[in-house]
Structure 1
Amino acid sequence: MKRSSVIRGVVLRRVALGVAAVALVAGCGPQGAGGGGGGSAAPPAAVTDTPPASSSAPSSDPSSKPSSDPSSDGKPSSPSATDGTPAPKALMGDGDENEQVRELQARLRQAGYFDRAPTGFYGTMTAGAVTAFQKKRGLPQTGSVDEATWQKLLAMTHKPTADELKPSTTNKLDAPDPRCLTGRVLCISKESRTLAWMIDGKVVSSMDVRFGSENTPTREGLFTVEWKARKWTSTIYHTPMPYAMFFSRGQAVHYSADFAARGYAGASHGCVNVRDKAKLSELFDQVKVGDKVVVHW
């Protein structure tokens, strides 16, 4: 075999592997049992759940991600108290996402400092609630939970029930990202786990959402609705994605029967799951290809 033929064969195999890798990560579907249906729409010809080739992929906005300064033990470093004294070591702080944060939020809600459903994510709203609690109790106002803050909160609240930790009520909207205040926008907040359909700064409708897992995260940034399909099945995960509105290389807003059944016990493969089918059906009819999509913390 000639040397040129061998080189050509190696190059072709590498190209094929690259294409296969792109196809693997581009698609989206709920992790768990999907479901639902609807009418029909003629989807674009595609091998994976990716937008048509003519669509340009919007750029992400990494500046919208929360930042942390990991210390040697892997926890974010505690900010200084407002009086300038060194703050005690934080047990929980900005950027954390776990069940202890969910319990913290439920207990803060019992005490009247957190007015939304627990999400398990420690963001600016949780930090604000913690700061207010610390101020009222004469503790260093760091916005992070240290041992003294946690013990004080434990002493004045009871162990949250399952309904308090994961209530079925609709999550409360947070302040919209500035990019959501003009035009027609699907404004999606990871912190409050909500989607707000907004037109010229006014909220028309809203609904609960959930996102991808740590291994399959939902991308953040400014996007547009690239294409829609009232009835679609993931070509990678083979799960139903009714009322799909694709906005970022295979990631879409869509109804999830798994989210409706399990709530936040599950996650998507990167898509924005909606559990209220009736609300999403109405939204699907209103949203147009080209409308903005903002995914932010």
Structure 2
Amino acid sequence: MKRTLPALLVCASLLVAAGPPAVAAAPSPVSRAVPGPAPYPAFDLVPGIARELRAAAQETPGRAQTRGQRWHIERVPRPEAVRPGAVTVACSRSTGPYQRQAERYLGRQVDGRQSTGDCRAIRRFQQAHRIAPASGFAGPVTGQMVRLMKARKNPNRAGHCPDRPERTVCADLNRQLLWVQQDGRVIFDPVVMRSGAPTMETRTGTYRIYLRHRHHISNLYHTSMPFAQFFDRGEALHAVYDDIYQGPGSHGCVNLTWEDARKLWDLLKKQDIVYVWGRKPGV
């Protein structure tokens, strides 16, 4: 895969005795974009005014991520943005870009049109999965959560990730999902991941973990990369403290929530396989 110069400079070299040179990857760039198609220009991030968003604002990133209780902020049409002083979120009248996917998963009539019943069902789903505001608008965050829930039963249904007797990390760039399987059995349930941003795409292929550093600090950006597990020339699986659903992507690494990265750290060892395939939506 061709790389631009900025993509190749995401990390500074860190030489080790065994394995290829490890590189301290850069943190995810700060952005308000979310996974999936870029939000439409008429959409805006809802201010943290409503009850759900006030609760989210009171959580520090580190504490929220380690508890696994972080709120995920959805974009909604600007006319439906919560006004200062509001204490409830009105049911969305708009049809979101992931309306059909949400309807199908929730057992609603799949017509791609928002109805009162659709909105109520989507709101319940959003509340259950800590998506704020729970307005019933099926935006990118709701769409990604639907993909995650659908994948729980059989993430490798399409057979893209190879069945091996060794532990294999399956990183699906198409769906932005990660799981671990061994001997045809899923041993780490699928979770949401965040791969490389445009021009810094996560490289596809088969790799092995060659360096693990629980408290890694990027020597280029001097930022924390908890539970870093390097698998290809500086690209690593590691935790981030910001909302995994926000931002255009990493500088090539595979980002995970703090809690998911910690569990993956406990499961994996050096020389375990990492298999990456697909292409991130919008890249």
**Preserved CA contact (<8 Å) 2:237 2:261:** no
Match of 1:34 in 2: none
SS at match of 2:180: strand
Kept in 2: contact 1:259–1:266 (CA 8 A)? no
For 2:176, which of 178, 193, 211 is the aligned residue? 193
Measure the CA separation in 1 of the matches of 2:179 and 2:203. Answer: 17
Cα offsets for 1:11-45 (capped at 9, x unmatched): xxxxxxxxxx98972545xxxxxxxxxxxxxxxxx
Query: CA offset at residue 179 of structure 1?
Result: 2.0
CA distance in 2, matches of 1:178, 1:110: 26
Pair 1:292 & 2:276 matched: no
Match of 1:164 in 2: 138
Identity of aligned residues (%): 23
Q: What does residue 273 of structure 1 align with?
A: 255
| Aligned match for 1:203, one of 186, 192, 200 | 186
Secondary structure at the aligned position of 2:264 is classed as helix
Aligned length: 180
**SS in structure 2 opposite 1:212?**
coil
Q: Which residue of 2 aligns with 1:283?
A: 264
Q: Which entry has the higher C-alpha Rg, 1 or 2? A: 1
**Matched residue, 1:221:** 205
CA displacement, residues 222-272 of structure 1 (integer Å, 9 cap, x when unaligned): 111011000011112222100000011111000011234xx2334211110
**Partner-residue secondary structure (3-state), 1:278:** helix
- CA–CA distance in 2 between the matches of 1:194 and 1:225? 19
Task: Compute the displacement of 1:192 (Å).
Answer: 1.9
- Going by fraction, where is strand more abundant, 1 or 2? 2
Once the two structures are TM-superposed, the CA of residue 281 in structure 1 deviates from its matched residue by: 1.4
* In 2, Cα distance between equivalents of 1:54 and 1:23: 27
Separation in structure 2 between the aligned mates of residue 187 and residue 216 of structure 1, nearest angstrom: 20
What residue is the counterpart of 2:130 in the other structure? none
Q: Distance in 1 between matches of 2:209 and 2:277?
A: 16
Could you report, residue by residue, the CA deviation over 1:59-108 in whole angstroms, capped at 9, with x for unpaired residues?
A: xxxxxxxxxxxxxxxxxxxxxxxxxxxxxxxxxxxxx94447x9875111
Instruction: In structure 1, give the amino acid aligned to 2:203.
Output: R
1:52 to 16, 35, 43: 16
**What one-letter code is carried by the residue in structure 2 that aligns with 1:55?**
G
SS at match of 2:225: coil
Cα 1:259/1:212, change in 2 over 3 Å: farther
Checking the alignment, whether the CA contact within 8 Å between 1:51 and 1:249 is kept in structure 2 is no
Paired letter, 1:258? D
User: Quick one: distance in 1 between partners of 2:6 and 2:219?
Assistant: 10
TM-score by length of 2: 0.53
Q: Does the C-alpha gap of structure 1 residues 163 and 53 become closer, same or farther in structure 2, counting only changes over 3 Å?
A: farther
How many angstroms does 1:56 deviate by?
4.6
Taking the aligned partners of 2:186 and 2:274, their CA distance within structure 1 comes to 14
| Conserved? CA contact 2:97–2:138, under 8 Å | no
Aligned residue type for 1:282 = K
Task: Show CA shifts across 1:162-203 (max 9, x none).
Answer: 763213848243325242444211111112211102122211
Select which of 222, 225, 228 maps to 1:241.
225
Q: Indicate whether 1:109 and 2:92 are aligned.
A: no
TM (norm. structure 1) is 0.51
Could you list the per-position Cα deviations for residues 127-179 of structure 1 after superposition, in whole angstroms to 9, with x for gaps in the alignment? xxxxxx7xxxxxxxxxxxxxxxxxx7458897995763213848243325242
- RMSD over aligned CA atoms reads 3.5
